[in-house]
Chain A
Amino acid sequence: MVKEVEILLVEDSEIDAELTIWSLNKINLGNKLFHVKDGSEALDFIFKRGDFEGNKSANPKVILLDIKMPKVDGLEVLRQIKENELTRTIPVVIMTSSREEQDLIKSYSYGVNSFVVKPVEFGNFAKAVSELGLYWLITNHVPGK
C-alpha cells in the first residue's frame, strides 16, 4: 500500500486522472497522490473497508472528487464523508467538467470545501490543479490528528 497518501483523487476517467497526476508531478506532488476509480472505492478507502481494511492513510490532506462516476457518484461520497464525525474535517474539493447549478447547490449543502470546474484548455487545467495541490497541501491547515 502507499505509505503516505496526502491527496486522494477520486476519478473514473483514466484520462482526467492522468492529466491531474501529470499536472501535480510538475510541482512534485504527484507521488503523494492515490487514485481510486469510483465512488465505492473511495468510500472503502476512507472508511477502511474491503480492500482498504487497515488503511493507515485514510485521512488524506485533501480529496479531489469527481461528480459523475459509475456506482456511487461524487455527491454521495461527499455526503458520507461530511456526515461522518471522523472524516468530516477532511477537505473535499469537487472537480467537475461543467458548472451545473444543482450540483453546486447540493455540494455546498453537503459541506464541500471547494468547487472547481475543470478547464478544457490543458494549460489552465494544469494551473488549476497545481494551485489546488499547493493550497490544500501547504497553505491550508486542518484540525490535526
Chain B
Amino acid sequence: MDQIPKKQFLNFIFLKTLLVYSLPIWFLLGVFLLFNGIYTELLNYSDLTNRTDKVYSSFRNLGVEMNKAATGNSELIEDRGKLKDLTLFFADSQYLIKQLELLNGTANDTLNLRIARQLDNEIHAELPWILGTKVLDSSVQSITDPHITALQNIDSLINAGIKRSSFILNYRRKEFEKSLWNLQLWIIVFFALSIILLVYTSYHLYKERVKTKLKEYELGKSEKRFRTLVEKSTDIIAMLDSKMSPVYHSPSAERFRGYNPDEGKKAIEMDDVHPEDKQRLTDVINLVIAKPGKVVYALFRVRHKLGHYLWLEGTFVNLLQDPDLGTIVANMRDITERRKAEDDLKRSMKEISDYKYALDESAIVAITDQKGVIEHVNDNFCAISGYTKEELIGQDHRIINSAFHPKEFIRGLWKTIANGQIWKGELKNKAKNGRYYWVDTTIIPFLNSDGKPYQYVAIRSDITQRKQAEEELHQKTRQIEDILDRIDEGFIALDKEFRYTYANKRIGEMTGREPASLIGKNVWDEFPEAVGSATQKAFEHAFNEQCYLCDVDHYPPLDLWQENHIYPSEDGIAVFIRDISQQKRHEQAISTAYQRLAFHFTNTPMGVMEWDPEGKVVQWSQQAEIIFGWKASEIIGRNFSELEIILPEQAASDQQLNRKLLNGELERVIGSTKNITKTGNIIFTEWYNSVLKDDEGKVISIVSFINDITVRKEAEHLIISLNQELENKVLARTEQLEQANKDLEAFSYSVSHDLRAPLRAVNGFSTMLHELYRDKLDERAERLISTIVSSTINMGMLIDDLLKFSRLGRKELTIQPVNMDALVRDCLQEIRISYPSLNAEIGIETLPDCLGDQLVLRQVWMNLIENAVKYSSTVDSPRIEINFKETERTVTYLVKDNGVGFDMQYYDKLFGVFQRLHRQSEFEGTGIGLALIKRIIDKHNGKVWAEGEVGKGATFYFTLSKYNK
C-alpha cells in the first residue's frame, strides 16, 4: 500500500464505492424498462385478442341468426330434404344487419375483412328473400339456384369467418400466455438477482464498517501505548515550538525535578538553568533553530525544586518542517548520579595511584597473571633480586626460587591463592648473584566476576637479617634440645610460677602429651592429681630453699613411678625425671610370685622338700612333716644321704638318680618307692624330683614332691587278687559253657537223626498200611491213618524248625554287604513257586543294601513274607508291601500285610518260641518262625518289632546296619 500514492488510493476507494452503490440503481432501471416493454406488449395482445373474440362471436352469432332465419323460412322448412346440405337459417334481418355491421367494424385482418365485406354483399342481396318471402312447400322446388347458391355461399363465408377468427383468437391467446409466462420468469429472475444483490451489498457494507472500526481501534491502541511509553519513561521527552516553548512534555520533566505532576505543568524555563550553562544552552538552541533535522547534543544543569542542580544530557532535533509533527523534539536524561559516580571514581583512582606510589616506595611488589607469569615488578624487586625489569617480566617466580621450601609448602601457597584467599608467609628467595634473601610475603589474589583469580599481587619486605639472627638462635637452641631429647630421662624446666618453659621428648613419652603443648602451662594445672603429692612438696621446697632435692613418687593417673632430681635456680627449677615404673613393677611381681609360691608350698597336698647340690635339705613342707613324722626343724640343714626315711637297700639307687639330676642327664625323675616314717612304719610313696636351675643353667637345688600312696597301693593289691579270682571263675564258667554247647550240639545232632527216623517209620508204614489194606479199611480207619500221617508231618516240621533255631544259636555270622533288593526278589520268586495259588498283590520298593549274613537274612525274609502270605490268604484282596526307611547309619525293612493281624495285647508272646497267636486249624505253623527271626536280628545287633490290629493286618520291622559304599 505504501507504494501507491495516497490520492490515487483514495480515488480508487471512491470509484469502487460509487460502483457498488450505483449498481442496484442501474439494475432497477433496467428491470423497470424491461417490465414496461412486456406490459405494453401484454396490453397490445389483450386488445387484439378481445377484438378477435368479438369477430369470432359475430361470425358465430351471424351463423346462428342465419340458421334461425333459415329455420323460420317456410320455403325451406317445407322441404328439408332439399336443404340437407344447408345449415343456414335466417331469423331476424335486423339482427343480421347489426351483426354484419359489427363484423365489419371489428374484423381486423384482411382475410376476415374481405369475408365480412362479401358477406355484407351477399346477405344484403339475399336478405329480402330470406325475410320477406313466404315459401310454400310446392314452391320449394321453385327455389332457384341463385338463392341456394347465395345461401351456400353465405354459409361457407360465415364458416370461413368463424374458422379464421377462431384461429386468430387461438393464436392471440397463445401469444398472450407466452408473454405472461415470460413475465413470470422475469419476475423470478429479478427476485433472485435482487436477493443476491442485497446480500452482496450488505456484506460489502458490513466489511467496510468492520475495517473502519478495526482501524480506529488499532489507532487508538497504538497511540495509547506510545503515550504510556512516553509518560512512564524516566527520560524527558518534550516537543517545543519555534520559540522553544513546550507544546508537550512528558511527566518525567516534572518528576525528576521533584515536582508532582498534579501540581500543574511546570516546564523547564531558562531561569531554571544553571547560570554557568545558560550561554552554552543558548548556543545550542540557536544551532537547533538554524539546522532543521540535525541532532544536536546538549549538556546542562537545571535547578531542583529543593534548590540544588541536576545534570541533564540529551539531544534536540528540529522537526518544525515535518508536516506531521511540526515541533522541535527534545530528549533529555538526568545524569546527575552518573556524574557523581564518575567524580568519585576519579578521586579513587587518584588515591589508588598514591597508594601504589607509597607501596612501590616502601615494599617489594610483583604482579603476576593467574599462571604466575610476572607482569609487573617495582624497583625494589629489581634491587633485591638483582634482575632488571626486562629480565623478570614474562618469567615466573621460579627465577628467584631458592629450592629451600619443600614442595608441599609451595603447593599449599598456590592452593590458597588459587582458591582466592590471601597467603601470608616468609619465603627464602635467590638473587641473580646466588645470594639468598628472606622476604615476608603477602600474596593477594584479584578475582574476576566468577570469583576466579586472574591476577596475583605479591607484596614483600626484606627480612633477611632477622631471619639470619633467628636461624642462629634456632640452631643453638636445637643443639641443646637435641641433647636433652637424646637423654633417657625426662627433663623439664619450670619458671617461678611452675609453668613449663621446656619439656624434652622423653617427657612426651612418659605423659603421653606432646611436649610442645605443655609449654607455658602450669604444671599443677596440667597434672592436677599431683597437687599435694610428695613431688609438689619437693618442687616447692627445692625452689624456696634453692637446694638440690631428689624424691621418688607414684603418679597414679599414668601409673608412673618417677625419681625426680630437682635443680633450683632463681628463675625456676630444672627437673630430671627418671621413669622407674618398670623397676617398681618388677619388685612387685617378684613379691607376688614369692607369695604365690609360699602359698603353693604350704597348701599342696604333697610333701615338698628341697635340697641343695651338696645334698643339704633347705625346705621341708608341712605336708612332708605329716607324711614322714619328722618336723622341719629336725630335718633342715641335714644331708639327704643321712636321712632315716630312706630304706637302706634303696639309698644307693636313690643317690645315683640324684646324681643324674645334678649333672643334667635327667630333667626330672618320677618313681615310687617305700619309705620309713619317724615311728618306723613302712609307707608307699611316689616321688617327683626335678632340678631348679638359674638363668645360666646352674643347679640351684633339687625339689621333691612326695605323695603318700600307701592306702592306694593296698587297694590295688586287693583289686589284683580279686581280679585273679574272677578270671579263674570265668575260665571255669567258660569251660562249662563250652561243654554245654557241645552237649547241645550233640543233642541236636542226634535229635535230627533219631527223632526223624521213627517219624518216618510211622508215616511210611501208615501209608503202606493204607495202600496195602485199602479195601479192608472203613472210613474211620482211613481217617485215623490220615491223622497219623499228618501228625508225623507236623512233628517233622517242628523238629526241623527247632533244629534250625538251635543251630542258629551256635552259628557264627559272616557279616558282609548284602544286596537286600536282589535277596528279597529271589525269596519272592521262591515263594511264588511254593505257593502257586498265591493271589496277593505284592508291592516292593528298591531296597538299600545292608551289612549282615546273607544266608540267615534269607531265612528272615522267607519267614516274614511267608507269614504275610499265610495270614493274608483269608482276606478278599490280599496286599503285601515290602518297604524300608533309612537313617544315616541304619536301614529299617518292613513287611506289611492286610491280613488277619494280631492283638497288640499279646505282643509279648509274638516273638517267643512255640508261641502262637492262632490255632493250628486256622493257620498252620510251628511257632518258631518269629522267634527265629528275632534270634537272627538280635545276633546282628539289630532290632525287630511289629505293629498289628486284629482284622487290619500286621507290619513287621527289622533294623540293620546300612551298607554305605
**Top-8 shortest CB links A-B:** A98-B752, A120-B796, A122-B767, A122-B764, A97-B756, A15-B761, A19-B764, A97-B753
A123 contacts which chain B residues (CB < 8 A)?
Answer: 767
Q: A97-B752, A97-B756, A100-B752 are in contact. Are A121 and B761 (CB under 8 A)?
A: no
Q: How far is the CB of B870 from chain A (nearest CB, A)?
A: 20
Q: How far is the CB of A27 from chain B (nearest CB, A)?
A: 15
Chain A 103-145 residues near chain B, CB threshold 8 A = 118-123, 125
- Determine which of B757, B789, B807 lies in contact with A101 in the assembled complex, contact meaning CB atoms within 8 Å: B807
A57 within 8 A of B: no
A52 within 8 A of B: no
A16 within 8 A of B: yes
Q: A15-B764, A19-B760 are in contact. Are A121 and B789 (CB under 8 A)?
A: yes
A96 within 8 A of B: yes
B749 within 8 A of A: yes
User: How many positions in chain B have a CB within 8 Å of any CB in the partner chain?
Assistant: 24
Instruction: A143 to B437: give the CA distance in the assembly, Å.
Output: 137
B759 contacts which chain A residues (CB < 8 A)?
Answer: 120
Instruction: A120 to B763: give the CA distance in the assembly, Å.
Output: 7
A-contact bits for B744-763, CB 8 A (1 contact / 0 none): 00000100111011011101
Instruction: A123 to B759: give the CA distance in the assembly, Å.
Output: 13
- A122 & B753 in contact (Cβ 8 Å cutoff): no
Would you call the interface of chain B mostly helix, strand, loop, or mixed? Answer: helix
- B749 & A121 in contact (Cβ 8 Å cutoff): no
- B760 & A16 in contact (Cβ 8 Å cutoff): yes
Instruction: A19 to B768: give the CA distance in the assembly, Å.
Output: 9
Chain A 65-102 residues near chain B, CB threshold 8 A = 67-68, 96-101
Q: A68-B753, A98-B752, A100-B752 are in contact. Are A120 and B760 (CB under 8 A)?
A: yes
Q: What 19 new A-B contacts, CB under 8 Å, besides A13-B757, A120-B792?
A: A13-B761, A15-B761, A15-B765, A16-B760, A19-B761, A97-B753, A97-B754, A97-B757, A98-B752, A98-B803, A100-B752, A101-B807, A120-B759, A120-B763, A120-B795, A120-B796, A121-B789, A121-B793, A121-B796
- A118 & B807 in contact (Cβ 8 Å cutoff): no
Instruction: A97 to B751: give the CA distance in the assembly, Å.
Output: 10
26 cross-chain CB contacts under 8 A: A13-B761, A15-B757, A16-B761, A19-B760, A19-B765, A22-B768, A67-B753, A97-B756, A97-B757, A97-B760, A98-B799, A100-B752, A101-B807, A118-B756, A119-B760, A120-B756, A120-B763, A120-B795, A120-B796, A121-B792, A121-B796, A122-B760, A122-B763, A122-B764, A122-B767, A122-B789
A97 contacts which chain B residues (CB < 8 A)?
Answer: 752-754, 756-757, 760
Q: How far is the CB of A19 from chain B (nearest CB, A)?
A: 4
A100 contacts which chain B residues (CB < 8 A)?
Answer: 749, 752
- A98 & B753 in contact (Cβ 8 Å cutoff): yes
- Determine which of A68, A119, A121, A122 lies in contact with B768 in the assembled complex, contact meaning CB atoms within 8 Å: A122
A-contact bits for B795-832, CB 8 A (1 contact / 0 none): 11001100100010000000000000000000000000
- B752 & A125 in contact (Cβ 8 Å cutoff): no
Instruction: A98 to B753: give the CA distance in the assembly, Å.
Output: 6
B378 within 8 A of A: no
Q: How far is the CB of A100 from chain B (nearest CB, A)?
A: 6
Q: How far is the CB of B936 from chain A (nearest CB, A)?
A: 16
User: Which B-chain residue is minimally distant from A101 (CB atoms)?
Assistant: B807
Instruction: A122 to B767: give the CA distance in the assembly, Å.
Output: 7
Instruction: A100 to B759: give the CA distance in the assembly, Å.
Output: 18
Chain A 1-48 residues near chain B, CB threshold 8 A = 13, 15-16, 19, 22
Instruction: A138 to B793: give the CA distance in the assembly, Å.
Output: 31
B859 within 8 A of A: no
B799 contacts which chain A residues (CB < 8 A)?
Answer: 98
A125 contacts which chain B residues (CB < 8 A)?
Answer: 760, 763-764
Q: Which of B763, B766, B789, B799 gathers the greatest number of chain A CB atoms within 10 Å?
A: B763
Would you call the interface of chain A mostly helix, strand, loop, or mixed? Answer: loop
Using CB atoms and an 8 Å cutoff, list the residues of chain A in contact with chain B: 13, 15-16, 19, 22, 67-68, 96-101, 118-123, 125
Q: How far is the CB of A44 from chain B (nearest CB, A)?
A: 24
B768 contacts which chain A residues (CB < 8 A)?
Answer: 19, 22, 122
B765 contacts which chain A residues (CB < 8 A)?
Answer: 15, 19
Instruction: A98 to B803: give the CA distance in the assembly, Å.
Output: 9
Chain B 760-794 residues near chain A, CB threshold 8 A = 760-761, 763-768, 789, 792-793
- A98 & B756 in contact (Cβ 8 Å cutoff): yes
Q: Which of B752, B754, B765, B807 gathers the greatest number of chain A CB atoms within 10 Å?
A: B752
Chain B 426-475 residues near chain A, CB threshold 8 A = none
Chain B 689-725 residues near chain A, CB threshold 8 A = none
Instruction: A97 to B800: give the CA distance in the assembly, Å.
Output: 11
Instruction: A107 to B409: give the CA distance in the assembly, Å.
Output: 112
B803 contacts which chain A residues (CB < 8 A)?
Answer: 98
Q: How far is the CB of A126 from chain B (nearest CB, A)?
A: 8
User: Which A-chain residue is minimally distant from B761 (CB atoms)?
Assistant: A15
A119 contacts which chain B residues (CB < 8 A)?
Answer: 760, 796
User: Which A-chain residue is minimally distant from B811 (CB atoms)?
Assistant: A101
A99 contacts which chain B residues (CB < 8 A)?
Answer: 752
A68 contacts which chain B residues (CB < 8 A)?
Answer: 753
A121 contacts which chain B residues (CB < 8 A)?
Answer: 763, 789, 792-793, 796
User: Which B-chain residue is minimally distant from A120 (CB atoms)?
Assistant: B796
A-contact bits for B5-28, CB 8 A (1 contact / 0 none): 000000000000000000000000
Instruction: A97 to B763: give the CA distance in the assembly, Å.
Output: 14
Instruction: A6 to B670: give the CA distance in the assembly, Å.
Output: 87
- B752 & A122 in contact (Cβ 8 Å cutoff): no
User: Which B-chain residue is minimally distant from A96 (CB atoms)?
Assistant: B753
Q: How far is the CB of B791 from chain A (nearest CB, A)?
A: 11
- B757 & A16 in contact (Cβ 8 Å cutoff): yes
B752 contacts which chain A residues (CB < 8 A)?
Answer: 97-100
A15 contacts which chain B residues (CB < 8 A)?
Answer: 757, 760-761, 764-765
B766 contacts which chain A residues (CB < 8 A)?
Answer: 122
User: Which B-chain residue is minimally distant from A12 (CB atoms)?
Assistant: B757
B753 contacts which chain A residues (CB < 8 A)?
Answer: 67-68, 96-98
B760 contacts which chain A residues (CB < 8 A)?
Answer: 15-16, 19, 97, 118-120, 122, 125
Instruction: A34 to B78: give the CA distance in the assembly, Å.
Output: 195
Instruction: A119 to B796: give the CA distance in the assembly, Å.
Output: 9
User: Which B-chain residue is minimally distant from A102 (CB atoms)?
Assistant: B749
Instruction: A121 to B790: give the CA distance in the assembly, Å.
Output: 8
A22 contacts which chain B residues (CB < 8 A)?
Answer: 764, 768
B789 contacts which chain A residues (CB < 8 A)?
Answer: 121-122
Q: How far is the CB of A53 from chain B (nearest CB, A)?
A: 32
B761 contacts which chain A residues (CB < 8 A)?
Answer: 13, 15-16, 19
Instruction: A122 to B789: give the CA distance in the assembly, Å.
Output: 9
Q: How far is the CB of B57 from chain A (nearest CB, A)?
A: 166
B795 contacts which chain A residues (CB < 8 A)?
Answer: 120
B754 contacts which chain A residues (CB < 8 A)?
Answer: 97
Q: How far is the CB of B752 from chain A (nearest CB, A)?
A: 3
A122 contacts which chain B residues (CB < 8 A)?
Answer: 760, 763-764, 766-768, 789
Instruction: A98 to B748: give the CA distance in the assembly, Å.
Output: 10
Instruction: A99 to B799: give the CA distance in the assembly, Å.
Output: 12
Q: Which of B759, B764, B765, B766 gathers the greatest number of chain A CB atoms within 10 Å?
A: B764
Instruction: A122 to B752: give the CA distance in the assembly, Å.
Output: 17
User: Which A-chain residue is minimally distant from B793 (CB atoms)?
Assistant: A121
A67 contacts which chain B residues (CB < 8 A)?
Answer: 753
Q: Which of A16, A67, A100, A120 gathers the greatest number of chain B CB atoms within 10 Å?
A: A120
Instruction: A118 to B761: give the CA distance in the assembly, Å.
Output: 11
Instruction: A13 to B753: give the CA distance in the assembly, Å.
Output: 11
Q: How far is the CB of B275 from chain A (nearest CB, A)?
A: 160
A13 contacts which chain B residues (CB < 8 A)?
Answer: 757, 761
Instruction: A101 to B804: give the CA distance in the assembly, Å.
Output: 11
User: Which B-chain residue is minimally distant from A121 (CB atoms)?
Assistant: B793
User: Which B-chain residue is minimally distant from A15 (CB atoms)?
Assistant: B761
B793 contacts which chain A residues (CB < 8 A)?
Answer: 120-121
Instruction: A84 to B760: give the CA distance in the assembly, Å.
Output: 34
Instruction: A51 to B752: give the CA distance in the assembly, Å.
Output: 33
A98 contacts which chain B residues (CB < 8 A)?
Answer: 752-753, 756, 799-800, 803
A-contact bits for B67-102, CB 8 A (1 contact / 0 none): 000000000000000000000000000000000000
